Amino acid sequence: MKLNLRSVDLNLLPVFVAVVDEGQLSRAAVRLGMSQPAVSAALQRLRLTVGDPLFTRSRAGLSPTPRAQALYQSVSAGLHTLADALDPGQHFHPATAARTFRLLAVDYFETLALGPLMAALRSQSATIGIHILAQQAGWVRTLLNAEADFALDTQVPEDDRLQAKVVGEESLAVVVRQSHPVISDSLSLEEFLAAEHVVLPLNERRTLPLDQILGRPGWHRKVGAQVVQYSNLLSVASASDLIATVPLRLAQHLAPGLKLQVLPFPVPTPKVPIYLIWPKALEQDRAHLWFREFLEMQLLA
């Protein structure tokens, strides 16, 4: 038997959505213009209504339970549809909006794009912020749980709850210290295969499918060191005889200060696409739509 909506206080639903979006009672309270105890009391009433705790506590704040995740997908979209129906003239105003957007990205994005992005953002809004979240294993779940607004990656996860668009592309280059004893000014395939490499963890190496590129199934680079950040690939190469395969723009940005040679990859390689990825459930959020269009314009520039 369906729940009688007349027995439910529908004012609890915007509170629930705000807590999922913000991940903390305090931030949700500020967004809603309510006190924190009032937000907490509203959540408690909704817990009793749906028969679920809705949230668990973690270091990052409040994490929605599986029941809350499913409820959020329907309620969030429904509230946006209802708001549009009741007030079709309502608009998002970036100049006055207080919103922080959370992006899942690797340090490549922070190094190259975040500074120019913030400069462009400040020309339109003094109140909107950007938080970069580490793109670790399981980041797709973070996106689907509304714990992040967007992700940037070189591949699109196979999940029909996500949408994606290409916002750039990157070429591959090899960096070698200027005083390398063997490699100077150019890099042959033989030198590449013989060299010792500094690499990223296996799940980050999908941007370089060497089995396909080199036509040598089962071949692996001679790995001397493994690091966790793109920028550290260049740091290690600058202070040793190890070489690193990195995005070309990152190499061009950091190589002069690290006294590195930036060399073409020894065989032709296709350019690597960069995707902006977001949950379909947030597509009707006007603020989310505005920021997505802003990101696309800046990243494609």
- Are 280 and 161 in contact, with CB atoms under 8 Å apart? yes
Domain boundaries, the chain: 5-86, 100-168+273-300, 172-270
Answer for the pair 220, 144: CB distance below 8 angstroms, yes or no: no
Count of residues making up the chain: 301
Q: For domain 100-168+273-300, which CATH number applies: 3.40.50.300, 3.40.190.10, 3.40.640.10, 2.60.120.380? A: 3.40.190.10
Residues 6+ apart with CB under 8 A from 88: none
Tens digit of pLDDT per residue, the chain (301 long)? 455 556 678 888 889 888 988 888 988 888 888 889 999 998 999 898 888 999 998 877 888 899 988 888 888 877 766 765 665 555 678 888 888 999 999 899 999 999 999 999 999 999 999 999 988 778 898 888 888 999 999 888 888 889 999 999 999 999 999 999 999 999 998 899 899 999 988 766 555 556 556 666 666 778 999 998 999 999 999 999 999 999 999 999 999 999 999 999 988 888 889 999 999 888 878 889 999 999 999 988 6
Q: What is the DSSP letter of 181?
A: S
Residue whose token pair is 């500020």? 30
In Å, what is the CA distance from 89 to each residue of 43, 84, 92, 137, 286?
Answer: 30, 8, 10, 41, 12
CB-CB neighbours of 230 under 10 Å: 22
Q: What is the CATH number of domain 5-86?
A: 1.10.10.10
Query: Using CA atoms in the order 155, 188, 202, 196, what is the torsion angle rounded to 10 degrees?
Result: -160
- Under DSSP, is residue 171 helix (H, G, I), strand (E, B) or coil? coil
Superfamily of domain 172-270: Periplasmic binding protein-like II (3.40.190.10)
CA dist 301 and 298 (Å) reads 5
pTM: 0.67
Answer yes or no: same fold for 100-168+273-300 and 172-270. Answer: yes
- How much is the pLDDT for 296? 93
CA–CA separation, 86 vs 228, rounded Å?
A: 49
What string of DSSP letters covers 9-20?
A: -TTHHHHHHHHH
Q: Whose CA is closest to 278, among 102, 77, 138?
A: 102
- Please report how many Cα atoms fall inside a 13 Å half-sphere around the Cα of residue 294, on the Cβ side: 22
Could you give the residue ranges of the DSSP H alpha helices within 205-279?
210-214, 230-238, 248-258
